A and B are shown apart, each in its own frame.
Chain A
Amino acid sequence: MTERILIQGGRIIDPAAGRDAVGDLLIEEGVIREIGPRLSVKGSCQKIDAAGKLVVPGLIDLHSHLREPGFEYKETVATATAAAAAGGFTTICAMPNTNPINDNQSVTEFILERAKAEGKVHVLPVGAITKGSKGEELAEIGELVAAGCVALSDDGRPVMNSELMRRAMEYAKIFDVPVIDHCEDLNLSAGGVMFEGEVSTALGLKGIPAASETVMVARDIALAELTGAKVHLAHISCGGSVHLIREAKRRGIAVTAETCPHYFTLTDDRVRGFDANAKMKPPLATRRDLEEIRAGLADGTIDAIATDHAPHAAQEKECEIDHAPFGIIGLETAFSLSLMLVEEGLLTLPALIQKMTENPARIIGKKIGQLGIGDRADVTLIDPAAEWVVDAGHFKSKSKNSPFIGWKMKGRIAGIVLSGVWKSADAEAGR
C-alpha cells in the first residue's frame, strides 16, 4: 500500500463543497489531506497525471443486486464489486433479495465479510423491511441496522399492505434509516412483461400500465406525509411519478427518488424483436415518459441516478420473453450513459456528479461522496472525452444481460482510489 498519492492537474469536481477547479489532490494514509491549485510534496509519493481528466468523489450506487448468497451463478460479491470498480463506483448498496433474504443479522454479516475478504469496492447492505420480504411482518430492523444495514427495502417487490408500510416507516424513524420502496401495484402488473401501450399491443405481450408505478408512488408520498419518515422511491420510470414527486417536494414532504440510466436512454420500442435484455421492472416506458424523467433530473425532482444492476445468466435471458427474468446489469455503463445528459445540455457536469455522489450519500445518511479534507479517500478518475464500445466480453460482471452491448459511449473510467489505494482501470483490465 502506497502511503501517499498525488493526483495532479485534474478537474476536481466536488459538489458537496461547491468545488469545480483544476488542481491537485493529495491523499495520505487513506484520507484526503490537501487540495490546491498546485501542491508540492516532499518525500516519496505516487504521482497520477490527471491532466484532461475529471477527479470526482467515488461514485455511489444506491441500488445493486449482488446475488450472493444464493444466486452465485449470476453474480457474486467479488464480481459485482469488480464491475462496480470498472464503472467508477467506490460504494454500492446491496439489495436484500438474496437467498436467504437479508432480513437478519447473520446475512448482513455474511455480506460484509464477503465484501471485506474479496470486495473491490465498499459494500453497504440494505436490509429487508419485512421478514423474507413477504410483506407480512416487520423484520428485526434494529438488529439489521446494528449489523450495518444503511437502509431498508423489500426491493424486487413492493410492500403491498399499506398499513404495514406505514408501520415500517414509523419504526425506521427510531434508527433514522430510509425506507426504499419498489413502487409497483402487483395486481395491476400481474402477468405483465413490458410497458402497456402501443408497443405491447403490437407485440401481443401482456403490458404493465404506468399506473402500476404511480399508484404506489402516490401511496408512499401519502405515507411519508403521515409518518414524517425518510422515504426513498427506487427506479422511477414514468412521467406520472415525476409529477407526483415534484408536487410532494413542493409541499415539503421528505421524499427522495432515483432513476436508472435505462429510463432516460431507452423506450419500450427497444422490446421490438422480443429481446429479453430489454425486459426489466419497472418496464421501459414511452418517449414522453423518458422526456419527463429527464426533466425531473434537470429540475432536481429526481435526486439520484442508481443502476438497479440486476445480473441474470445468459440461458435465463435467451428464451421466450414471457419466461425471462426482469432486469439488466448496469454498473459498467451507468456513468457513460449518464454523461449523455451533460452532452445534451440537460445537466451540468457538477450536477450529474452530485446525483451519483453527494445525493446518494445524503439519502443513506453517510458522510461519503465528498472530497473534504480528512474524508476517506474514495476518488474516481474519469477521462470524459475517451470513447469506448460496450463489449460483452469485457464486462467484469458475471452476467452479460445488457441492452447496450455494441453501443459507442463517451467517458471512460480511468480508475478509482479506494480508501487511499489507487486502482488503475487499465491495470485491472490487464491492458
Chain B
Amino acid sequence: MGLKRKDILAIAEMEKEEIELILQTAESFKEVSTREIKKVPTLRGKTVVNLFFEPSTRTRTSFELAAKRLSADVINISTSSSSVVKGETLLDTARNIEAMQSDIIILRHASSGAPYILARALRSAVINAGDGSHEHPSQGLLDLYTIKEKKGGIQGLKVVIVGDVLHSRVARSDIHGLKKLGAEVHLAGPPTMIPLGIEQWGVKVHYRLEEAIAGADVIILLRLQLERQGKGYLPTLREYAQLYGLNSKRVALANNGVLVMHPGPINRGVEVTPEVADGLSSVILEQVTNGVAVRMALLYLLSGEKS
C-alpha cells in the first residue's frame, strides 16, 4: 500500500484517509525503534538526500535516523540560504543531486513554496521539511500521531495553538491536519501574529490565552523567533511571556490530562515555564521520538509507490 502522490508538500493537500494511513504506518515503525537492532531492510539500495538550505539539527537528524533505520543511503547537504540568492541555484542544485540517482529529496528552505519548484521539475520524490511560513507536514503529522497516541483519537478534542501563527509553518500544518481529523482548533496570540483571514479555516481566534485554554485537551506552543521583538510584532519578550507564556496556573484552566506540546527548541521562560515544560502534562520529548517513526512511514510510503 502506497500513497497516491509522488511528493509530500503540504497537509492542506492531503485527504483524511492518506493522513490516517501515514499514522497507522508510523505505529508499526515505532516498534522497530524499540528493538535491539533498530534497523529494517525496507529501503536498501535507495538514496535519500537531506537538502537543507536552513539550519535545523532536529529535523535533519530525525529524517537521517528514519532513513538509516530503513537501510537507505543518506546524503546530507547543508547550504545557507543567504548564499543562494538566485532561484536557478535551487533548481540547479536539485538537478545535480538527481543526476546522482537520488530517490527521495528532503528539502528545508526559507522560502514558502520552494519544494514545489523541485517537485515540478524532478523525478525524485520530494518531502517538504519546512518551507518558509508555509508548511512543515512531517512535524504536523508527528503532532497528530502524538495526540492520537496519548488521547486515543483526535475527533472532538479541543486543541489550542499558541503564539506566532503568522510565521509558523508548524501551525499551518497542524491546523489543516487537526481540522481534517475532526478536532476543534483555537488560536491564541497577539493580533500582530495572527494572519489575516485565518478564521476562514474554521478556527477560533483569541487574543487572551486564558480564554483560549479553558477546557482545552491539547495546548501546542509555537516557538517564538526572539528577533521578532522590536520589529513591531511585540514590544518586549517580557510582555509576551506575561501575556502568552504557559505556566502551571494557566495549565490548570485546561481539562484534566491536557497535553502540552512544543515543536522545539524551547525558549524556556518565554513560551513556557520550566516546570510546565518538564512537568507531567508535557509530551515534548515523546514528540521527538514519534518524529522518527512518522518520518520512517513517509519514506516507506513514498518509496513503495515508486517500486
Contacts and interface: CB of A to CB of B under 8 A. Distances in A.
Contact of A203 (B86, B113, B200): B113
Nearest to B198: A201
Contacts of A198: 196-198, 200
A104 B100 CA distance: 53
A207 B133 CA distance: 12
Interface in A320-337: 320-324
Contact of A205 (B109, B117, B133): B133
B112 A322 contact: yes
A315 B87 contact: yes
Nearest to B131: A204
A207 B194 CA distance: 13
B36 interface: no
Contacts, number: 73
A321 B197 contact: no
Contact of A319 (B86, B131, B196, B200): B86
Contacts of A196: 196
A274 B87 contact: no
Interface in A181-230: 196-207, 209
A320 B12 contact: no
A326 to B, nearest CB: 14
Interface residues of A, number: 24
A318 B91 contact: yes
B113 A320 contact: yes
A374 to B, nearest CB: 53
A393 interface: no
Contacts of A18: none
A201 B196 contact: yes
Nearest to B133: A204
Interface in B48-106: 85-88, 90-91
B132 A207 contact: no
A320 B113 CA distance: 7
Contacts of A207: 196
A220 B185 CA distance: 43
A273 interface: yes
Nearest to B200: A198
A274 B112 contact: yes
Given A203-B134, A204-B133, A205-B113, A320 B87 contact: yes
Nearest to A322: B111
28 contacts: A197-B197, A198-B197, A198-B198, A198-B200, A199-B197, A200-B195, A202-B12, A204-B132, A204-B169, A205-B112, A205-B113, A205-B132, A206-B133, A315-B86, A315-B88, A318-B87, A318-B91, A319-B87, A319-B90, A320-B87, A320-B113, A320-B114, A321-B111, A321-B112, A322-B110, A322-B112, A323-B85, A324-B87
Interface of B: 12, 85-88, 90-91, 109-114, 116-117, 131-135, 169, 172, 195-198, 200
Sort A-B residue pairs by CB-CB distance and give the 4 closest, nearest first: A319-B87, A274-B113, A198-B197, A204-B134
